[in-house]
Structure 1
Amino acid sequence: MAIHSLAHLIFLLFTLLTSTIAYTKLSDESLKAIPDPGDTFNIKTGSILSPILQVRVPGTPGAEKVRQHFYSFFSKELPLWKVTLQNSTQSTPLGGAPITFVNVIATRDPPWARVGEVGRLALVAHYDSKLTPEGFIGATDSAAPVAMILHAAKALDKAMTRKWDDMKAKGQTGGLEAEKGVQLILLDGEEAFVNWTDDDSLYGARALAHAWDSSTNPAMSTHRTTLTEISLFLLLDLLGAKNPRMPSYFKTTHWAYKNMATLETRLRSLQSFKSSPNHPSKAPKSTNPKGKGTTRPTREPVWLNEANKNPNLGQFLGGMVQDDHIPFMARGVEVLHFIPSPFPNVWHTANDDGAHLDIPTCEDWAKLVTAFTAEWMDLEGFMRVEGKPAAPAAEMEKSKRDGVELDRRKEEGIISKTEL
């Protein structure tokens, strides 16, 4: 038994050290195939966003209504996703009866995956709203981020199915590269009830991080606990206002920030961002100094403006912002945090409602998160406009080969991402 375990351990370490997860660049055609949220983000009638835009304080009927919206969404739109709940009953500074906080987790893994063998990209946002001011909706905080995550899952669901069907057909279901999934974590109880303290905040995140850190997988699993199955914890918060400035908060995930920044630049160059002043629907026209009429592009804004920060010299302010990542980061989970600095001017005011969202910005964030997730999941060659015939197999394989960015990342000094 001891000899078998040692041999298994040596083999596992060798595999980990010699295997690199592909992070395949999406082609322009694949980026163009990412759907806009469109009417689903209408604040009055949108099937994804509008049901979240209500008061949803933990333990109230509003919170339960929003959860019912989640259940309905996954049942109708994403039936292959596994939806689970994680409940915790905790006291608050308000006194009275303890409140039950309900985290909603939706997971899509390769169909052949075994427990403890899947590393996942976690897309995370909190869905609760603040108790005060009375009637607070919390549109940027965080109804819109939740909607962005749901859109990303819906937009990529069929592409993941196509990829995994292709892998099964080719007998490529073994090895670390085959064991990648996506997890949506919708957290309850992020907001403080009275004043933000270590005990009066992050109720759902604290409970879930503790539960998953204590949940061990079968012996000899690649991932020892449910918590260590999270390869990257991508947290969205306070998104949906115009012109956000997005710092890179953590040195160890700056490589992922740079990949997201590259996608932002590419989507802008493809004129896919509706919030852009150069989007075809609103690009201004002017006359050049020579007197000939022409279209002169406006300078393109940049949200992720720290892509060129040197990770060895730059200042990273991850410890300055308290948010749902804290209990996970304290247990060793890698975090990529997207929260603007400065915060939106509607933050924690009655004006943080649907009417004050910039919907084009919301749609662009949804598209950007979708693109990052697609690259993480190596979906190049499987993205397509629904209803459009698939590309020939040879063309798909060439597109995948052309998209691999490992050599480029090494040349630029970006550390390759491994399962370690």
Structure 2
Amino acid sequence: MLLFGGLSLVSLFSAACSAYTPLSDETLQKLPSSGTDFDIKTGAILAPILRTRVSGTPGNAAVLQHFVDFFKKELPEWRLEFHNSTSTTPLSNGLEVPFRNLIATRDPPGTRPGDVGRLAMVAHYDSKISPEGFIGAIDSAAPCAMLLHAARSIDKALTKKWEATADSLELDEQQGVQILLLDGEEAFLSWTDEDSLYGARALAADWEFTYHPAMSTFRTPLDSIDLFVLLDLLGSASPAIPSYFKTTHWAYKHMAEVEKRLRGLGMFKSSPNHPANVAKRENKKPRAEPQFLPESDKPADRFYGGGIGDDHVPFMARGVEILHIIPSPFPKVWHEIEDDGEHLDMNTVEDWARLVTAFMAEWMDLEGHFDFPRTEQKQKREINFEEKTEFAIP
């Protein structure tokens, strides 16, 4: 991505999902953690992404295969599609470099693609060609891992919801979700309109003129996107994410509210007031609580249309509503060799994974559809109750 000024490509209309139901405190507390899946050496989700993965190289292909294997094994109900394109680059000596986007979609059963509005959760998976050996942990291995974790975390709840509402789902309630893992975001030589966003530019251009069948609710796949949420540069400590666009400030506020609730419930490991962090210091008094998303109350006259070149730009230029989750200022390791697994703040990474999962669950109206494992203590209480009840019955 590139920071620049004066970007004026802003959508004119605000999308709204058909339902946005806050999760209960109990559900927020029981959302699955990433656990060992985010271990930088052995984690089943994150570790395979922490490698060089320049577009068109074997490393890039290996990471794409990791994504495919994850969905086939863990999320077989998701429909996988590849979007392939080629382009020359300033370093390819006239040769065409392949760019491969992966699109994973989960729609309500029995629906037609043209009748389903979708939440699109997006990150790029390629890495920068220089400096040599660049890993790109925040940019954007960790965001990709967050999306895989979140998709798995809500998958069974989606199934349960759609089974429960199969006979009552109205046309305007047909909401699906997509994970877009985009290739070719990074510039090969220096950031220009032609040397950047290769995969995003190709996908947005193709989707603009890919038409759904006549009489569909949505004309094209672009029209089907209710909100395009782009995650980038996430995983360093103490991020601050502005609200970039006035037309999606309502969605930013929803995510910020979830963050506040998670912090209040003691679920954010990076919080200075998390019990584990309080226990480590002598002064146990509560400290000021930072916020990843601090601009919930941003005045209406303070929106300037953004200023960061990233994968959202080709979509925004075509009228798609964007929620850009990227810190400002950028983390210090941005485009430096230090942007590797060892420089991730793992508490922050896990907090983002939980927050993204909660946001997706609320957007998809999944409250009441999660089946969480009962704790051993709760199971014991229920067994004791059943035993006492059984003996009490004549």
TM-score calculated relative to the size of structure 2: 0.89
Aligned pair partner of 1:25 in 22, 25, 47: 22
Shift in Å, 1:316 = 3.4
Structure 2 residue 335 is matched with structure 1 residue 316 = no
Amino acid at match of 1:259: H
The answer to whether the 8 A contact 1:246-1:341 is kept is yes
Structure 2 residue 254 is matched with structure 1 residue 265 = no
1: CA distance between counterparts of 2:35 and 2:335?
Answer: 27
Shift in Å, 1:300 = 1.1
1: CA distance between counterparts of 2:326 and 2:144?
Answer: 13
String of CA shifts for 1:211-250, please: whole Å, max 9, x gaps: 1111000011100001111100000000000000110000
Shift in Å, 1:301 = 1.0
Number of residue-to-residue matches in the alignment: 359
2: CA distance between counterparts of 1:278 and 1:199?
Answer: 46
- Structure 2 match to 1:175: 171
- Structure 2 match to 1:298: 287
Amino acid at match of 1:115: P
Structure 2 residue 245 is matched with structure 1 residue 245 = no
How do residues 397-416 of structure 1 correspond to structure 2 at under 5 angstroms? none
- Structure 2 match to 1:363: 350
2: CA distance between counterparts of 1:93 and 1:385?
Answer: 51
Q: Which runs of 5+ in 1 are unaligned?
A: 1-18, 288-294, 390-420
- Structure 2 match to 1:45: 42
Structure 2 residue 182 is matched with structure 1 residue 184 = no
1: CA distance between counterparts of 2:355 and 2:282?
Answer: 30
Partner secondary structure for residue 283 of structure 1 = helix
Larger deviation: 266-275 or 298-307?
298-307
**Distance of aligned partners of 1:161 and 1:350 in 2 relative to their CA distance in 1, 3 Å threshold:** same
The answer to whether the 8 A contact 1:56-1:66 is kept is yes
Aligned pair partner of 1:148 in 143, 146, 149: 146
String of CA shifts for 1:388-411, please: whole Å, max 9, x gaps: 79xxxxxxxxxxxxxxxxxxxxxx
2: CA distance between counterparts of 1:175 and 1:325?
Answer: 28
Partner secondary structure for residue 366 of structure 2 = coil
1: CA distance between counterparts of 2:373 and 2:85?
Answer: 40
2: CA distance between counterparts of 1:122 and 1:143?
Answer: 18
Shift in Å, 1:315 = 2.8
How do residues 342-357 of structure 1 correspond to structure 2 at under 5 angstroms? 342-357=329-344
How do residues 5-404 of structure 1 correspond to structure 2 at under 5 angstroms? 21-94=18-91, 95-168=93-166, 171-177=167-173, 179-284=174-279, 286=282, 295-310=284-299, 312-318=300-306, 320-386=307-373
The answer to whether the 8 A contact 1:283-1:298 is kept is no
Partner secondary structure for residue 123 of structure 1 = strand
Partner secondary structure for residue 275 of structure 2 = coil
String of CA shifts for 1:3-41, please: whole Å, max 9, x gaps: xxxxxxxxxxxxxxxx97121111101111211101000
1: CA distance between counterparts of 2:297 and 2:226?
Answer: 24
**Distance of aligned partners of 1:219 and 1:305 in 2 relative to their CA distance in 1, 3 Å threshold:** same
Runs of 4+ in structure 1 deviating by more than 4 angstroms, as ranges, are 284-287
**Distance of aligned partners of 1:244 and 1:90 in 2 relative to their CA distance in 1, 3 Å threshold:** same
String of CA shifts for 1:139-160, please: whole Å, max 9, x gaps: 0000000000111000000010
2: CA distance between counterparts of 1:210 and 1:20?
Answer: 24
1: CA distance between counterparts of 2:129 and 2:238?
Answer: 28
Amino acid at match of 2:357: T
The answer to whether the 8 A contact 1:238-1:339 is kept is yes
1: CA distance between counterparts of 2:370 and 2:128?
Answer: 38
Amino acid at match of 2:338: N
Sequence identity (%): 60
1: CA distance between counterparts of 2:103 and 2:207?
Answer: 12
2: CA distance between counterparts of 1:346 and 1:380?
Answer: 38
The answer to whether the 8 A contact 1:124-1:186 is kept is yes
Amino acid at match of 1:314: R
2: CA distance between counterparts of 1:300 and 1:174?
Answer: 41
Amino acid at match of 2:170: G
The answer to whether the 8 A contact 1:33-1:384 is kept is no
The answer to whether the 8 A contact 1:41-1:50 is kept is yes
String of CA shifts for 1:264-286, please: whole Å, max 9, x gaps: 00000000011111112121555
The answer to whether the 8 A contact 2:52-2:127 is kept is yes
Amino acid at match of 1:90: S
Shift in Å, 1:348 = 0.3
TM-score calculated relative to the size of structure 1: 0.83
2: CA distance between counterparts of 1:49 and 1:337?
Answer: 22
Amino acid at match of 1:58: S
1: CA distance between counterparts of 2:181 and 2:265?
Answer: 31
Amino acid at match of 1:45: T
The answer to whether the 8 A contact 1:128-1:189 is kept is yes
- Structure 1 match to 2:382: none
- Structure 2 match to 1:14: none
String of CA shifts for 1:315-341, please: whole Å, max 9, x gaps: 3341x1000000000000000000000
Amino acid at match of 2:194: D
Partner secondary structure for residue 302 of structure 2 = coil
